[in-house]
Amino acid sequence: MRTAHALSDCAQTGEDDPGWDVSVSRGFGEGKADLRAWTALAWEASDALLFVGAAGIAVRAIAPHVASKATDSAVVVIDEAGRFAVPLLSGHLGGANELAQTVARAVGAIPVITTATDVRGVWAVDTWARCAGLAVSNPEAIKRVSARLLSGGRVALYSDMPISGQPPEGVDIASDRARADIIVSPFAGANAGAFVRAAETTDEVVPAGETGMPAGMRVQAPAPEPLRLVVPCIVAGIGCRRGACAEAIGEAFLLACGQAGISPLAVREAATIDVKAHEEGLLAFCRARNIPLATYSAEELSQVEGSVSPSDFVRVDNVCERAALAGGGKLIFPKLAHGGVTVAFSKVSIELSFKER
């Protein structure tokens, strides 16, 4: 009962906190909720799942839904006596380790953290990325970075943005993107640096017959791809004809990203004129990308300094560029028109730090 009361208090705290949105099920089994159905719904709707009971039950409940460390929900289990809080899934990127510690404090339990970097006191790049608000473009590369640090090696980090604070042990700041193990950039994962990195190679010995060369001859193999952490510092200014569908907007957006060399994950916000605030296609596009839509009046946009290429869609010239600039950023990609949609990109300042929050 101690656990139930403490977790109830914790849930109430979450309900009172604007940063939390808590849903509680009071039990499973005959006459109560179906665990499999609840898990399926909670998995789709929640960032984290907390089970009270046996770890094995929780493992079997979540097993059909586990897909990728980049997208899986955080999962924590705590025993009925409230003795141990164990993160089962997505300890770093999903924040399960942090959640387990929070729950443990609430109920007086012991958090059982098993991830190697935490156990050995080594910097966890994926935890830092989550806390810094960075998207991970290629999560499969996390393992390589962590493995090198765990073996006592060093990694080179290149960033397009300044990062305050002392770099963690084992991390060197690189001035050359092409030689970095970690790239922090709104362009990471897109065109910028991709061809440079692809040109870098490492030696690898291969058996005869695989290349038609004599046995033991060294051939050039592609160097490991760097871990790409994407900074969400791009505002997409968007203009469109009335009734433009989400698909058309998405097509123009991706075309602009490709030409600008911007990762779509770097876009933090879409912006447009207020008369487009209820355009269903634009709203659907934003929902699909999980980004907010900022709107500005014609008067506000007319006062924005920047490019004023004419637009045929609304009475304010060049809505997309003006909307992109309205939030105070710097224009880095001018208007692209495609299929009745215009897109422009601005870059806003983002503060990054190695210091833990």
Map tokens 């730090």 to a residue: 353
**Are the C-beta atoms of 243 and 281 separated by less than 8 Å?**
yes
- How large is the average pLDDT for residues 29-58? 88
- Tell me the mean pLDDT in the region 295-310: 81
Task: State the Cα angle at 258 between 257 and 260, rounded to 5°.
Answer: 65
Lowest mean pLDDT among 30-34, 79-83, 108-112, 170-174: 30-34
pLDDT-derived band at 203 (thresholds 50, 70, 90) equals very low
Q: Work out the mean pLDDT of the chain and round it to a whole number.
A: 84
- Stretch 282-299: mean pLDDT: 96
- For tokens 């999980």, what's the residue? 290
For the chain, where are the E strands, in sequence order?
48-52, 74-78, 84-89, 110-111, 135-136, 155-159, 163-164, 171-173, 182-184, 201-205, 218-222, 227-230, 234-240, 267-273, 293-296, 330-338, 341-347, 352-353
Whether the CB-CB separation of 62 and 88 falls below 8 Å is answered with: yes
* Whole-angstrom distance, CA of residue 347 vs CA of residue 329: 5
**Paired residues of 237 in beta bridges:** 271, 344
* Percentages of the chain per state (helix, strand, coil), in multiples of 5: 35, 25, 40
- The β-bridge partners of 78 are 52, 85
Token pair recorded at residue 222: 């592609």
- Encode pLDDT of 118-168 as tens digits: 999 999 999 999 999 999 999 999 999 999 999 999 999 999 999 999 999
